[in-house]
Every structure is written in structure tokens, then in C-alpha cells.
């Protein structure tokens, strides 16, 4: 039986986890700590929790009194775990994640055990890492830990360090002879998995974490990604090895990848991990935890290409959600709400980096809004961007129960009205609107809803349609009835309708649909199916009117089609609609769908 769409209860999938456990042949080997975890499969929903990195990386007064990144200590982690258990656990927050540095002293000098495995720094974690996990588990929470990908250079030990539980293997066996480096900082030697010793090393690390009782591992600096590309930085084999090693421990350990993972390898990330950071660090490394410009706001541009890839088992990770204390976060109230809204609707993991002992009341209201958490945790798809990537945006998800989750965003630096037109959602007539942040039914709206949003502000609604679907008429870009200008030309495109599109829309290249017929004059939400490997802009105009320039988000690559709604004013009868690259480079156009009625 299906659970209700908005359920946040972990009742679903009980049977699935049992099957998985049996498959792994480890049903009897589940460690003690497992008893404290629920039995959902890993990453069935975006995980919720807390991470140490935001406070570690901040220069906010008092956080890192003993030098950069010195915040990370057992005392601080347990303080946060206690606060989470007390304030947030009942809303679904469960992971307490220790980030970089647990094996490094406050001068950032690392410690390793006799087998080249990271060892707890005795000053930061005097009782070792297991004691921390035990404490966390005792609070009914889960524990997360961290590693950079590769063999850290300091662990190499002239190649003579033995690998645990691998007779004859030493560190020299697991890296390349030329000691080529890898990861986002080049801080490790790339591991050569053609030697079986290499897997053994990963196995030895995974076993350590399982023994300590960790439930989560963030593997950082992973490429392609982490601002690196090329063979030396291709860590797909490392990630695969980690998945295998974790499975071998018998302990369910969530594997999260970081940072700015290459979308070209998304199938690898989906296959081997439970989540992947789509972007760089959200932290500003400044006097607050984050700032809007550096780099919260980037997520609105970068998320759309990834939306299609999120789902149970693996989620798009937008990084820490630092909305709990306005002064420490460095954000306005409006920015904090928008931040939480995007994370919720994109189905990003919801882990905060805030000081949970110092949440302000507005922060608590953001982090504990059950209706918003339900959007993130429920059995609903991630919202996609319905509009161009302009300062005023509408994102929406169609839910299994026929409602829509709709978010309005104003990314401009000043207040603006933002409209969600029901035509963008594909229906006409009325709909009832519930305001999730404010827990309020707003009533019935015809045609759409317009709200005033503050600078960098947002609204989050559940829309229940009371109207009817609007049929559309498709016009293919490659139709011979259209006019191509400049360099524009028809090209093959297997993902496109009709297997063709119009491309080469650059430096004056343009495409005109010549005979777009509507019955009545009005503003129509034209659905534009386009392909663009990077964000590009386009001037859209109808008939002899002036053009409006819109930015189109990347679709991820040049073989993927996405669709956004663009308002165009049409007259009754035949119209022309023109897509003009102007003085720049524009996306390729697959087709447009014109609704039968205006908005």
C-alpha cells in the first residue's frame, strides 16, 4: 500500500531494506549500532542533519579561536548533536556529520595509523572517533565522517606502509609509479585500482568506519569535478571501490560525493553513490557562514540541469542549509527563506551548518516547518524551473496526487512581483492555493497567482487545480515553414521531437516561426523546448514587437532537451515568433508548444 504523498514517516520500503540486507548476505552481521537506525534504504529520501564544515570554515568571531578550522572538536560536535536531538530530531534531522580535519591537528598536520588510515587527532577527539559515534547514536541520531579521495600524500610513507588485512600490500602498490596526484586540492596520490591492493586499502578504511559505527561518509575532492578534469582527476574508480567496500562491511553507510561533480558523469554518481554536490561550497570563508552572492545564489543557475537526475537512492546535494541564525548566516530573512525553499523543492539533502545551540526563532521556524519538510521528504519529484533563468522565476513539481508544489523566487536585488501562471503548469481556470511557509490557505485564484516578493525573496505554495488542462499546438523548429537567419541551421538531435532541432543560433543567428495561429489576442505562455550545454540567452519577440531577452539554464549537455515557459503577446490569427541570438550565443531550439488559450 502506498503511503500518502506527503508522508514524512519512514514507514515505506521496510520490505525493500530487508531484501537489500539479505542480498548482501549480511543480515546477521549487522553491528550493534544498526539497531538504533531505522530500516529505510539509504537515501530513500534526501538526508537531513548537520555538518561541521560551515562553522569550521567561517571567520565569524569566536568560532575558531585556535586557528582556522579549529572548531572541529569532540566537545563541539557533541554539543551540536545534543542540540539536534533536543530541537530538530523530531522534524527528521538525524545525521551529525564530522567534516574535514578530524585526523589533523590544529596546524592541519595529519595522523595515520600503522596502515595508512586516517587516525583521530588526539586533541580534537581525545576519546577517538568511536566514542563520538556512540554518543551520537545514544541520542538516536546517526554519525557521519569524512575523507578526501585518493591516498593522502602524508599516508604514503615511502610506499612501505602496509595495507590492513592485505598480505604483502603496501602503499606503493596502490598508487601509480609516477605518484600522480589527484583530487580537488592535489593533496593525494591517485589510486591505481588495477592492483588488487588498492581495493583492499579502501576496504580497510571502510571497515574502520563501520567498526567505529559511522553511518555516513562524505568523500571529498572527487573528480571529474572539484574544479578538476582529465584522467588524473577521474575518481569514478575510487567511488566504485568505496561503494564496494561499504557493502563489504555490512554496515549501511551513506556515501555522499563532493564537490561540483561533473554532470557528464552523473550516471556514475547515480550508480555508486547516494548523493553528489552539484556546486562549489556554499560557505563564504568570511565573517559569516555564507553570503548570498558567495555562493548561495549560484544554486538557482546550476540546479536546473541536475533536476532530472535526483531520486530515491541519490540526490542533488546543494550543500549546507545555513538559515538558522541570521546574524551568523550573513543573510536577510528573505534570503534565508529562499535558501530553504530551493533546498526543499530541489530535494536537496537538508543539513544545516548552523550553530544549533544558537538558532534564532526565525531560523527555527525555517528549519522546522513541517509542510516544507514534507515537500523535501515526501514521495514527490524535485521541482523544475518552469521559467527562463531570469531574476523572477517559477519552479514547480507535479505531485502524484495531482497537486503542484510551486515556488516563486525574486532573485533581483530589489522587491518585485512574481507571477505563477497556471498556463505554465498546463491548466486553465481556477486553483486553490496553500501557503506552506505561513501555514495558510490563501483561497482560490484564477489564471495564476502574483505575489510581491522582497529582494532575494520567495513564496512556496501547494496549488490544487480546479480547472482543466490546456491543449497545446506544437511547432517544430526544423519545420520548412520557419525562417532561419544568419548561421542558423537544422541539425540532428536524437533527444528532440522529430529528431531534429535548429542550432547555430549565434551572433545574429535567428529562428522565426512564421505561422503561429491563436484564436484570441493575449499573452501566451509558450513552452520552449531547447538544448543548451551551458547557460545562454535569447531574445524572444512576436510579430513586430520588441524583444525580451531571457536567460536559459543549461540543460546539462548538448543532447538533452528541457522546456521552459516564455510569455509572448500574440494577436488573434497568424503570428510570427522569433528567437534571436542577438550579439551572443543562444541555445538550440527543438520546438515550441503554444497553448490554445492565453494566460
Partner 1 sequence: MDPRSPDPSRRTLLSVATTGSLAAALGGLPAFTASAAPQRPTTSPLLTGSDRDGLWWQAPGDEGSLIEQGLPVGNGRLGALASNDPGRELLLITDATMWTGGLNDTLDADGQFPYGRADFGSFTLLARLTVDIPDHDLSAVTGYRRTLDLAQGVVACSYVRSKVTYRRQVFASRPDDVIVLHFTQSGGGTYTGTITLEGTHGETPSGAESFGASFPNGLRYGAAVRAHSRGGRVAVNGSRIDFTGCRELTVVVSGGTNYAPDATTGYRDPSLDPERLARTKVRAAATHSAGTLLRTHVADYRDLYGRQELSLGESAADQRALDTWERLKARFRDGVPDPELEAAYLQFGRYLMISGSRGSLPLNLQGLWLDGNDPDWMGDYHTDINIQMNYWMADRTGLSPCFDTFTDYCLAQLPSWTELTHRLFNDPRNRYRNSTGKVAGWTVAFSTNPHGGNGWWWHPAGNAWLCNSLYEHYEYTQSREHLARIYPLLKGACEFWEARLLTTTLPGTSKEVLIADSDWSPEHGPQDAKGNTYAQEMVWALFGNFCVAAAELKKDTGYADTIAGLRKKLYLPEVSPKTGWLQEWMSPDNLGDTTHRHLSGLVGLFPGDRIRPDGSTPKDIVDGATAQLIARGMNSFGWANAWRALCWARLKDADRAYQLIVNNLRPSTGGGNGTAFNLFDIYETQPGRGIFQIDANFGTPAAMIEMLLYSRPGHLELLPALPDAWAASGHVTGVAARGGFVVDLHWRDGKPTSVRLRSVGGRTTVVAYGEVSRTVTLKPGESVTLKGFAR
**Footprint of partner 1 on this chain (CB under 8 A)?**
333-334, 337, 413-417, 435, 437-438, 440, 442, 450-455, 457-459, 521-523, 541, 544-548, 569
**Chain length of the chain:** 599
Q: Is the dihedral of CA 11, 267, 342, 89 positive or negative?
A: positive
- Nearer of residues 442 and 484 to partner 1, judged by Cβ: 442
> Cβ 563 to partner 1, closest distance in Å?
23
Helix (H, G, I), strand (E, B) or coil at 38: coil
Q: Which residues contact 404 (CB under 8 A, 6 or more apart)?
A: 396, 397, 398, 425, 462, 463, 465
> Cβ 369 to partner 1, closest distance in Å?
12
> Cβ 326 to partner 1, closest distance in Å?
12
- Nearer of residues 5 and 548 to partner 1, judged by Cβ: 548
What residue spans of 303-395 are helical by DSSP H?
326-329, 333-345, 361-367, 370-377
Q: Determine how many CB atoms are found less than 10 A away from the CB of residue 15.
A: 9
Beta bridge partners of 539: 549, 580
- Nearer of residues 19 and 521 to partner 1, judged by Cβ: 521
- Nearer of residues 474 and 547 to partner 1, judged by Cβ: 547
Helix (H, G, I), strand (E, B) or coil at 157: helix
> Cβ 61 to partner 1, closest distance in Å?
25
> Cβ 450 to partner 1, closest distance in Å?
6
- Nearer of residues 36 and 432 to partner 1, judged by Cβ: 432
> Cβ 291 to partner 1, closest distance in Å?
15
- Nearer of residues 111 and 523 to partner 1, judged by Cβ: 523
The three-state DSSP-derived secondary structure of 83-123 is HHHHHCHHHCCCEEECCCCCCECCCCCECECCCCCECCCCC
Q: State the number of CA atoms in the 13 A half-sphere of 206 facing the CB.
A: 26
- Nearer of residues 452 and 469 to partner 1, judged by Cβ: 452
- Nearer of residues 210 and 577 to partner 1, judged by Cβ: 577
What is the Cα–Cα distance from 174 to 552, expressed in whole angstroms?
45
What is the Cα–Cα distance from 74 to 340, expressed in whole angstroms?
28
DSSP state of 54: H
458, burial (CB in 10 Å: exposed 0-12, middle 13-18, buried 19+): buried
> Cβ 131 to partner 1, closest distance in Å?
43
> Cβ 231 to partner 1, closest distance in Å?
42
Amino acid at each position: 500500500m502506498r503511503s500518502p504523498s506527503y508522508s514524512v514517516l519512514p514507514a515505506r520500503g521496510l520490505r525493500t531494506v530487508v531484501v537489500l540486507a539479505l542480498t548482501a548476505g549480511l543480515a546477521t552481521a549487522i553491528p550493534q549500532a544498526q539497531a538504533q537506525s531505522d530500516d529505510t534504504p539509504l537515501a530513500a529520501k534526501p538526508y537531513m542533519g548537520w555538518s561541521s564544515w560551515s562553522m569550521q570554515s567561517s571567520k565569524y568571531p569566536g568560532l575558531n579561536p585556535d586557528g582556522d578550522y579549529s572548531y572541529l572538536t569532540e566537545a563541539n560536535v557533541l554539543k551540536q548533536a545534543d542540540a539536534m536531538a533536543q530541537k530538530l530530531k523530531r522534524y527528521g534531522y538525524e545525521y551529525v556529520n564530522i567534516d574535514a580535519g578530524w585526523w589533523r591537528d590544529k596546524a592541519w598536520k595529519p595522523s595515520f595509523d600503522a596502515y595508512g588510515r586516517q587516525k583521530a587527532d588526539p586533541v580534537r577527539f581525545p576519546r577517538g572517533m568511536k566514542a563520538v559515534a556512540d554518543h551520537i547514536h545514544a541520542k538516536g541520531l546517526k554519525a557521519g565522517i569524512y575523507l578526501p579521495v585518493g591516498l593522502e600524500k602524508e599516508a604514503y610513507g615511502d610506499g612501505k606502509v602496509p595495507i590492513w588485512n592485505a598480505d604483502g600490500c603496501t602503499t606503493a602498490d596502490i598508487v601509480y609509479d609516477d605518484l600522480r596526484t589527484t583530487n580537488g586540492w592535489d593533496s593525494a596520490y591517485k589510486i591505481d585500482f588495477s592492483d588488487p591492493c588498492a581495493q583492499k586499502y579502501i576496504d580497510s578504511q571502510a571497515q574502520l568506519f563501520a567498526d567505529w559505527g559511522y553511518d555516513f561518509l562524505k568523500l571529498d575532492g572527487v573528480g571529474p569535478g572539484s574544479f578538476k578534469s582529465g584522467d588524473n582527476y577521474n575518481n569514478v574508480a575510487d567511488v566504485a571501490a568505496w561503494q564496494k567496500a561499504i557493502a563489504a562491511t555490512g554496515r549501511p553507510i551513506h556515501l555522499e560525493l563532493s564537490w561540483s561533480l561533473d554532470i557528464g558523469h552523473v550516471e556514475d554518481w547515480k550508480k555508486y553513490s547516494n548523493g553528489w554536490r552539484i556546486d562549489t561550497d556554499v560557505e563564504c570563508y568570511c565573517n559569516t557562514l555564507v553570503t548570498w552572492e558567495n555562493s548561495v545564489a549560484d544554486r538557482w543557475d546550476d540546479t536546473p540541469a541536475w533536476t532530472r537526475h535526483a531520486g530515491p537512492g541519490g540526490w542533488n546535494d546543494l550543500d549546507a542549509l545555513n538559515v538558522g541564525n541570521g546574524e551568523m548566516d550573513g543573510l536577510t530573512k528573505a534570503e534565508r527563506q529562499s535558501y530553504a525553499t530551493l533546498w526543499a523543492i530541489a530535494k536537496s539533502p537538508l543539513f544545516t551548518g548552523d550553530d544549533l545551540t544558537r538558532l534564532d526563532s526565525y531560523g527555527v521556524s525555517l528549519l522546522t516547518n513541517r509542510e516544507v519538510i514534507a515537500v523535501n521528504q515526501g514521495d514527490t519529484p524535485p521541482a523544475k524551473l518552469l521559467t527562463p533563468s531570469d531574476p523572477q522565476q517559477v519552479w514547480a513539481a507535479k505531485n502524484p496526487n495531482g497537486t503542484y508544489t510551486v515556488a516563486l523566487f525574486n532573485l533581483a536585488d530589489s522587491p518585485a512581483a512574481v507571477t505563477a501562471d497556471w498556463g505554465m503548469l498546463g491548466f486553465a481556470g481556477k486553483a486553490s492555493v496553500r501557503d506552506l511557509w505561513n501555514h495558510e490557505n490563501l483561497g482560490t485564484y484564477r489564471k495564476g497567482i502574483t505575489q510581491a516578493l522582497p529582494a532575494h525573496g520567495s513564496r512556496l505554495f501547494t496549488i490544487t487545480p480546479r480547472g482543466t488542462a490546456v491543449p497545446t499546438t506544437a511547432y517544430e523548429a526544423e519545420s520548412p515553414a520557419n525562417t532561419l537567419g544568419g548561421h542558423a541551421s537544422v541539425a540532428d538531435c536524437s533527444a528532440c521531437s522529430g529528431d531534429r532541432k535548429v542550432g547555430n543560433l549565434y551572433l545574429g543567428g535567428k529562428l522565426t516561426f512564421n505561422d503561429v495561429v491563436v484564436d484570441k489576442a493575449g499573452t501566451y505562455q509558450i513552452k520552449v523546448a531547447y538544448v543548451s550545454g551551458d547557460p545562454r540567452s535569447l531574445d524572444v519577440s512576436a510579430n513586430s514587437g520588441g524583444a525580451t531577452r531571457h536567460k536559459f539554464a543549461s540543460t546539462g549537455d548538448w543532447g538533452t532537451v528541457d522546456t521552459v515557459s516564455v510569455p509572448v503577446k500574440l494577436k488573434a490569427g497568424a503570428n510570427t515568433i522569433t528567437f534571436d541570438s542577438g550579439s551572443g550565443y543562444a541555445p538550440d531550439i527543438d520546438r515550441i508548444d503554444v497553448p490554445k488559450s492565453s494566460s
